[in-house]
Structure 1
Amino acid sequence: MPPYSIQSSSVRHLNLQGWNYSGNHQFYSEQQCLSLIQSPLGQQCQYLLIEVDKRANIIHLVQKMKYLRALNVRCNDRKDNEELIKWLKPRLPSTCTFANDSTAPNEIRLWIR
């Protein structure tokens, strides 16, 4: 898990996608997402790339990271991106725009206004 206690007012972009020690994608749990949300980095983040284990974590990130404007996310509990987008749309503000990520087919992009 990244050092969320780092405090730097210039950090606005976080890329938390990557691999764990087993060589698998590092999917963030609900607790890890909440730790990020409550951290200084999470409180100022505007652009986040992350992999989450459950789709509800996406909702938490969008609703609780007050400066978040863009989110690239891979979700471990999705069947496909279209199904995930369909599930997210009624649960997120109507100001969110969704798109498939053409460079990473298992990820979606959200823009938050």
Structure 2
Amino acid sequence: MSLFKYTTASVHRLDLNVYNHQFNEEECFNLSRSPLTFQCEVLFIQVINRQSIINLVKNMINLRALHIQCEDDFVQWLKNHLPSTCLIVRNSDSISQIQIWIQ
């Protein structure tokens, strides 16, 4: 996506759900390494692969909250694969959205 070419260093909140696009593992990796997300603290995104979530949390060093749109229920899987400093909850307003709070 051409989105990754932006280089502003002042993006603290990024809502990619407006693109109605499910990001694959390669796109998530590229996003996590993009200058666009260097200062990002809150990210809203739709992902295809669960491993992408782990990579986003590990690679986006300033990330404090991750709101994920997903098809399946993998809250327990995330709890098993993310550090205990992450609080993982399903959004009660939207069954397909998971929120991850990173401390």
> So what's the TM-score if we normalise by structure 1?
0.83
Distance 2:2 2:94 in 1: 22
> Identity over the aligned pairs, expressed in percent?
39
Q: Does 1:8 align with 2:8?
A: yes
Deviations 1:17-40 (A, max 9, x none): 135xxxxx4110011101101100
Q: What are the equivalent positions in structure 2 for 1:24-63 lying under 5 Å apart?
A: 25-63=20-58
Q: What are the equivalent positions in structure 2 for 1:96-107 lying under 5 Å apart?
A: 96-107=86-97
* Residue 11 of structure 1: how far off its partner (Å): 1.1
Distance 1:88 1:43 in 2: 23
- Give the 4+ runs in structure 1 shifted more than 4 A: none
Q: Unmatched 5+ residue regions in structure 2?
A: none
Q: CA RMSD in A?
A: 1.5
Q: What are the equivalent positions in structure 2 for 1:63-78 lying under 5 Å apart?
A: 63-76=58-71, 78=72
Q: Unmatched 5+ residue regions in structure 1?
A: 20-24
